[in-house]
Structure 1
Amino acid sequence: MVLNIVALVVSVLIFSEFPAGYGLSSNYYLKTCPGVDSIVTNVVKNAVSKDKTVPAALLRMHFHDCFIRGCDASVLLNSKGNDKAEKDGPPNASLHAFYVIDKAKQEVEALCPGVVSCADILALAARDAVVLSGGPYWDVPKGRKDGRTSKASETTQLPAPTFSILQLQQSFSQRGLSLDDLVALSGGHTLGFAHCSSFQNRIHNFNATHDVDPSLHPSFAASLKGVCPVKNKAKNAGTSMDPSSTTFDNSYYKLILQGKSLFSSDKSLLDFPKTKALVYKFASSKQAFSKAFVKSMTKMSSITGGQEVRKDCRVAN
């Protein structure tokens, strides 16, 4: 509880440093829809009680939304004929739990019709996903608008699991996010599941000299090869992001230092002195990681870009 209070205070202080142009406020719906936070929390809590993969899905969904056109719920829009939306882009093929946002929107609309954006609901759901997994609480700034455009072709802008530290730095900096944000937000990989396709480059034909990435711990590499024995063969095969993949903790950073991270992008955090120092810091202190994560999540989720408040999260007005 002490950690949660600290994280909340930090998030409020950080958000107060944002320029007024962000247009977001923790009290945005104070008069127009004061019950929105509790409605979303209850919907997410109910979904998590039935499916432990929901938190990872919601957190990833929010991240993927914010990195394309800002946090405008464009990832929720359905494709129209040949106009493929973001959710049907290759990096988003494994996104799921859209029904949770649909349910929350339905309940919010019943209480406050036409007031709360789908983008705000997604941001709140991502926060609740972290909290319900044992992570820190933060007061989500609200007031985002929903976008009208969603293009599958733009999902190529999402950082890939094969990215180097330089590629990651460029991707994050283009969105106003620092190396500190990069390392903190990467900690979201403590939740969820990874398909073989996301890490096969490290266990099959790594380079001309090694079949397996030599930075991988030998027994860990062997276990991955057991799960994914032949490159590209098992489409839905994979493994948990870490042994405690339904608990939001700092084990992700400990695994990086042990040579047991899944993605090239995870391992690349050790390639810059600054990011390496942060990996060590977060590996040694869950509290330090939680504070940094709250700060960076608040910053990332404040990248805005929408124009309307959708009635249906899957369809533009």
Structure 2
Amino acid sequence: MSTAPDKTQKLGRVVLWIALALLVAAPFIGLYPVFMMKALCYAIFACAFNLLLGYTGLLSFGHAAYLGAAAYTTGYLVRSVGLSPELGIIAGTLIAALCGLVIGLIAIRRQGIYFAMVTLAMAQMIYFVFLQAPFTGGEDGLQGVPRGNLFGLFSLANDTVLYYVVLAVFVAVFLFIIRIVHSPYGQVLKAIRENEPRAVSLGYDVDRYKLLAFVLSTAIAGLAGSLKTLVLGFATLNDAHWSISGEVILMTLLGGLGTFAGPVIGAFTIIGLQDFLSDRVGSWINVIIGVIFVVCVVAFRKGMVGELQAWRQRKRAG
């Protein structure tokens, strides 16, 4: 006879398959491909952040720096150097990972608020470099980034073709993170999150595990930034601004910290609200998002997916 956890897992798989089917059918049911691609890029970004905070317990206030570093790298190489889009994406991801390695070596030995402040300070330094560097276009950003041809075969100028490329990358990242979390390495990350001194006493090199998690998170965040540049055709200073680091925290908390689907739901919710309300309320959208953040922290501390899981557990216990 099936146990309650088995039923929950089966239900979760069914929901994921339904969500995937909706994403595959999105261009044919009237959903704007560019909006969906932008939301998927931010979903990848939120999943990357969740890997760091939700499963490792490290709060970074500067994750936008890696999104922006990859966005500028891909935009410059594709537009000015003439690289193909796949090579531009790989280069952007590697640059983000390299930035994460350098900053991680500096920050990883700090804990709590000190770790968060170091990541924020380093991210602001990177933002200043982007502002002053000649190849970034300064406040104007990199405009007119061509999408090119994927592997020289598929033209990404077609929104539908590019949408399915972005969707394929998103699914690959989602499955990759699930595999990491369920691996022995992921179990060690959870142990570090729950009780770092105990993990040290068991003989684990905690700093090495945290550094690898940090680099993986920054690389995936860079992948999101590279894809976003190809989708929108530009990279700007806003990609590396500290407010984007705040938004990804909100996306993760709103959807559910430490859950697989939570960051995705949170990203689609925030991007959807911004897209729907920006023309209607103007700059007040920031106030609305701030109110949502406060309500989430006060009333829904586990996020939408986390609260649903807690409700199901209470129901089974009752």
Q: TM-score range by the shorter chain?
A: under 0.3
By relative contact order (CA 8 Å, sep 6+), the higher-ranking structure is 2
Structure 1 length-normalised TM: 0.24
From the two aligned structures, give the one with the greater helix fraction. 2
Structure 2 length-normalised TM: 0.24
